[in-house]
Structure 1
Amino acid sequence: MVKAIRVHKVGGPEALSYEDVELPAAGPGEVRVKHRAIGLNYIDVYDRSGVYPAQTPFIPGSEASGDVVAVGEGVTEFKVGDRVAYTARLGGYAEERNVAAKVLVKLPDAIDYETGAGMMLKGLTAQYLLRRTYKVQKGDTILFHAAAGGVGMIACQWANHLGATVIGTVGSADKAKLAKDNGCHHTILYRDEDFVARVAEITGGKKCQVVYDGVGKQTFPGSLDCLRPLGMFVSFGSSSGAIEAFNIGILAQKGSLFATRPTLFTYTAERADLLAMCDDLFAVIASGAVKIPVTQRFALKDAAEAHRALEGRDTTGVTILTP
């Protein structure tokens, strides 16, 4: 038996139940991992609340790091004692779990467990956003919403490193300082300022090549008005609610814009792509150009408290659950 957080009926943070769960032996193609650190992400809220339907009961959690304690039949890439990290749908909020070997990667010695747990989903999300969905180039101007969040703080450092001018929206003066300390050249307090007007002011009316939006309903369609002609709107989350259906003709009206709704798990579906993305992420972290800011820690048993903080926008950077 291992301790884990399970959801028996979707709902609020109170739906997270800390309990004993029976864990079978690792099956063919599986690796048993003893978790050292577990990442907290907004997708966990979507799962817990039923926005992303899952069969109950389920264990939430989509990224973690730890040690290999057993390997199943047919697994040759990993051995007992390997330090590993992964991002995978569901199953992370547990002391130990069985995970498919195809989603695991070896954690370099230079990267600690908390960094490993905090960088897989969030760091790989930043990687595909900046390097694949829209390939940020030196001289670009980008807008990143929720710049003091987990993905935002990683992506803004990385975009700055790539030579872009980085504009970030944040919810408070404290978060503005955090964003500026982590790569933003300009910050906009979205609760107090019209972010569309401020982007136009900052850019001298030229606007941005790309807008990265994990907020959703609250920032749409304003995000489109921050783009120059032929710019790209990248919607990768919906922390304020989903964007409702809209007339695609609005993209023509606002300058022949591109719009996309990518997901990490599409980009990492092929193992070769996952490994290449991890190599890119690990390299930029090892160089010191991007740091993974672990700013909050909760015990796994206090996952409900962590969810309340996340939904209340009281967290910044990376939040870790410790088994």
Structure 2
Amino acid sequence: MSTPPQPPEQPEQPSGAPAQPSAYPYPNPQSPAPGGPLGFPPAAPAIQTGQQSVHAQPTLVGVGQPAQPQPGNPYAQPGQYPVVGPPPTGGGGAGKAVLWAVVGAVVASAAWAAGVFLISARNDADLRGYSAPSNLCNSADYSSFQDEYPEDDGTPTHNTLEDTALDQGYCSISLKKTGSSYSDAYLSVQLDLHKKTDPGPEFTATWKNYGDSHSGYDVEEVTGIGDEAYLVSEDTTSGTTTGSRYATLAVRDGWVTYTMGYSAYLSSYDDDKDPPELDEVTDWLKTDTRATLASLSD
């Protein structure tokens, strides 16, 4: 009996030769499907090679193994550019535009914040046009007292302070009645220009509550001078031949504060030397403070 013809024997694959292409991209039908719990990428599209379709093998990234940068995308090269926001997709211009837009927004935001801070720090001081003179004794108006105390003080005491946080002027004047060889009363004036901090809360706490911290003083709120003003006074001469009369008018106008204070001692040796009544003194303080503040804010 004749032997039926046999199909030609397939040539043996040489050692190390690549396997023949297969239409199934995974080693065997039991391989896990793409998109599983380890995040495998989807199957690669088929590539036409001659008469047979071959699937390109996807590059799988193992657990704990860093992804390799894609060629042609400079932003994916480690250590080349700062990572800001989501990474750009692909190597095209759209990804670069997104990155630079985010970087630009961050830089612009920081610059804006710095600018607001600097402008705020520079412009917050509400000085209302006031300036501190080099000698406040020459600028303070106390003409209301000069009928009662006509003798001039030839050597009033004054000092000044000029700093980035505070400008200050101070003056102390001796008041003398006609024929007096010594001081019958004293005036003190002080101007403070607060250039870094708002003195309002502390000013109010100090002067509005002065009677709580100093026994025997009367406190009166005065309207029509600055943003707020308080008149603090004390008279210990009632029913006695000796004692003192004291009054201070404290004013805040914006971030500027001004005080004008009067003090006198009642002597039993010469009735002509007695100080004026306290009501007169407080009226003079109000009149001269208004005049002084008007001249210092021109």
State the TM-score, normalized to the length of structure 2. Answer: 0.19
Larger fraction in helix:
1
Higher relative contact order (CA 8 A, sep 6+): 1
